[in-house]
Amino acid sequence: MIAPTVRERVRGGYRTLYVATISLAVVLILQSVAWGKPQEKKPGKRTLTLQQLQEMALARSPSIEMARNEVGVSKSDLKQAESAYYPQFDATVVTGPAANADEPLVVNGRITDPSSSDIFDIGIFGRLDFTLTQPLYTFGKLSNRKEAALLGVKAKQVEIEQKKAEIVVRVKQLYYGMVLARQGMGVADESEEYLDDTRRRIKALIDAGSVNVDESDLYMVDAYSAEAKSFRAEAQKGERVAYFALKSLIGMPPEEDFDIDVESLPDQGNVLEAQEKYIQKALDQRPEMKQLKHGIDAQKYMVQAAKSDLYPSFFAVVLGSFAGAPGRDQFDSPYFTDEFNHAYGGFFAGLQWHFDFGIQQARVDKARAEYSKMLNTKAYAEENIPIQVANIYQEVLQYKTAMEAYEEAASASRKWVVVAFSNFDMGLGTAKRIFDAIDKYGQNRGRYLEALYNYNLALAQLEYAIGAISD
């Protein structure tokens, strides 16, 4: 079996943390985050907590404002539905030319017109017609649409919660990514210190004529050092991208800078409840489920409203008409109506009933189909949400176990580094043993940071999946 080369051993030591940092950078770039040149640290830079970053992102989010606008639109629909209960007033006013006329005469039993025959004998007239209509009974046309509109407002209000939860998760992802990148740079710096110390010790032994070391050991140090520097550059890039993304998300002006308040990922140490409880919480309080329930209830009322359209509507109406033409004589007769000179009004009760050949019934069928579709959507969600929650829950357990295991392994491998240095100084160990210890320490430390990042992110995803994130 061929022994691995020095470069292969080096890559093994940093591969895990290297891949984690690269993956983070790719995710952030796919989120349309532009490359930003790092700013030099300035005096008076603001230090922001995770909570403050979340609040700032929520305060200026365009997506939340769009959701609030949708609520406003729904409230307008509700107002229209409520206003349908009130009287509706229509008025028409017209004016124009009218031929002047005298009151007709009865001569020898015949009605004669004494008016001038001059076609230019024209005056003016004005007329006002109005109706005031009050719905009395509509078989549910108004009440069902009002209830549907009210539930529509509630559904849109829940959508605001959904947008807030999405933003909170994104802020946490960027925040944890920024911290992970900083920790990665710390690991690279620590490895560089170990390698510099190893280089000094090897040179001192070579100068002293020791047979336990040679020039190849120095080449091995340089190989490890190059990989450590390369990894640090990648981690630094990830930190810069995460910083720029957070800055854009919170709407901070370009001339201002900020810093985060921690130097390590928080080990939240949460005590998890039973998986079934998280599944039930998701089904009860997740914004999408709330919104879906409101939508189903609203569509149920729309089905009833469509059915109501098949029945008549009873109403009361007050109507009147007034017209006047100065150049025409008033002719009062219950048998004749002068369109240019009159005044009348009255109160009536009426019924309106629209008939067609299948159009209304088709609308009822469509409303029923929409209602059935939403019920099936709810059944689909109730089938798949438990699977999603269970998957995230198991990821939390997996990353927590990995985090604890690699934390112990990193502590043990660091002790190994110290012992390897001590044995090397006493002539009991070789340079290879030091490199093996540094290799394993970097490997375990990198996997610990990766597991810690994934653990915190999985907890955030679990909160999101059960609808626990709202601000």
Q: Where are the domains of the chain?
A: 6-85+138-312+353-465, 86-106+122-137+313-352
pLDDT value of position 322: 95
In sequence order, which ranges of 251-346 are alpha helices (DSSP H)? 275-285, 287-308
- Between residues 115 and 65, which one has the greater pLDDT? 65
pLDDT in tens, 208-244: 777 677 888 888 888 888 888 888 898 889 899 999 9
pLDDT value of position 44: 60
Q: Specify whether the backbone of 131 is left (phi greater than 0), alpha (psi in -120 to 50) or beta.
A: beta
CA 100 – CA 187 distance, rounded (Å): 104
Burial of 133: CB neighbours in 10 Å, binned 0-12, 13-18, 19+? middle
CATH number of 6-85+138-312+353-465: 1.20.1600.10
Average confidence (pLDDT) over 164-175: 93
CA 195 – CA 438 distance, rounded (Å): 8
Please state which of the ranges 30-44, 123-137, 196-210, 457-471 shows the lowest mean pLDDT: 30-44
**pTM for the whole structure:** 0.74
Query: Which residues, at least 6 apart from 175, have a Cβ–Cβ distance to it below 8 Å?
Result: 50, 53, 242, 246, 260
pLDDT in tens, 1-22: 333 433 333 334 444 443 344 3
